[in-house]
């Protein structure tokens, strides 16, 4: 565990908005490969929708992705690659974001992570997760909906990066919920109506549903 005094935690969160990272390093096997966030729904890429939701809530944003970073150049954001090899999953992206925040975040204490295939993220995501961290003196705060936790969508302490690196490299840890189980965890639930803000597009069928939901969301 990473010990954090409640008063210090509150000051660190209140000093500035979180730094944000969009996790776009998935292999999209269920869509036949390629970059899921670059698929379009409602005339806009999923990634553009994610960025539009997160930018007002974050001090700055970066994209976590592997391979040629130029495919994301039009978004004008830093692109950070995993530092752990062989695509070990979202924890590697979170680690890369923590290292990026430590190097470039002006002493930032927290980063927000969100997957690049969730186009309807709530506009109060950072605010509510931050409030839960303080209220529960937690080390990690994650989102939930319909009774299900979404551990990739959360606030993470930059101070945890060396411990996380060891868990990934030495222990071979891969599952996000196994990592969160080691820490004081706050879980914040959002309503799933009229649409689940954490809907993610994993399959071709999901893209069709996302088109329908985008029409609802754009009219809201």
Read off the pLDDT of residues 67-96 as tens digits, 9 standing for 90 and up. Answer: 999 999 999 999 999 988 876 789 999 999
Is 1 inside a domain boundary? no
Rounded to whole angstroms, how far apart are CA atoms 214 and 74? 22
**CATH number, residue 64:** 3.90.550.10
Which residues are registered as beta bridge partners of 19? 60, 111
The parent domain of residue 72 ranges over 6-219
Is 128 inside a domain boundary? yes
- pLDDT of 154-189, one tens digit each? 999 999 999 999 999 999 999 999 999 999 999 999
Domain count within the chain: 1
- Angle of the 6-15 helix axis to the 125-135 helix axis, nearest 10: 160
Report yes or no: 179 and 167 within 8 Å, Cβ to Cβ: yes
Rounded to whole angstroms, how far apart are CA atoms 38 and 1? 37
Is 94 inside a domain boundary? yes
Is 53 inside a domain boundary? yes
pTM higher than 0.85:
yes
Is 51 inside a domain boundary? yes
């Amino acid at each position: 565990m990473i010990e954090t005094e409640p008063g210090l935690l509150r000051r660190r969160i209140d000093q500035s908005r979180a730094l944000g990272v969009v996790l776009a390093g998935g292999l999209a096997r269920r869509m036949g490969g390629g970059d899921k966030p670059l698929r379009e729904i409602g005339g806009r890429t999923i990634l553009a929708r994610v960025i539009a939701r997160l930018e007002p809530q974050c001090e700055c944003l970066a994209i976590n992705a592997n391979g040629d970073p130029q495919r994301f150049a039009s978004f004008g954001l830093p692109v950070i690659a995993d530092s752990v090899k062989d695509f070990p999953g979202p924890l590697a992206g979170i680690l890369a974001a923590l290292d990026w925040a430590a190097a470039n975040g002006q002493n930032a204490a927290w980063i927000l992570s969100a997957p690049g295939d969730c186009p309807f993220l709530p506009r109060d995501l950072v605010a509510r997760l931050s409030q839960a961290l303080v209220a529960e003196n937690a080390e990690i705060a994650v989102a939930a909906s319909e009774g299900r936790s979404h551990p990739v969508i959360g606030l993470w302490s930059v101070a945890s990066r060396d411990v996380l690196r060891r868990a990934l490299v030495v222990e071979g840890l891969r599952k996000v919920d196994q990592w969160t189980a080691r820490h004081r965890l706050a879980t914040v639930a959002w309503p799933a109506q009229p649409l689940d803000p954490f809907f993610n597009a994993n399959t071709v069928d999901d893209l069709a549903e996302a088109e329908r939901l985008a029409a609802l969301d754009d009219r809201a």
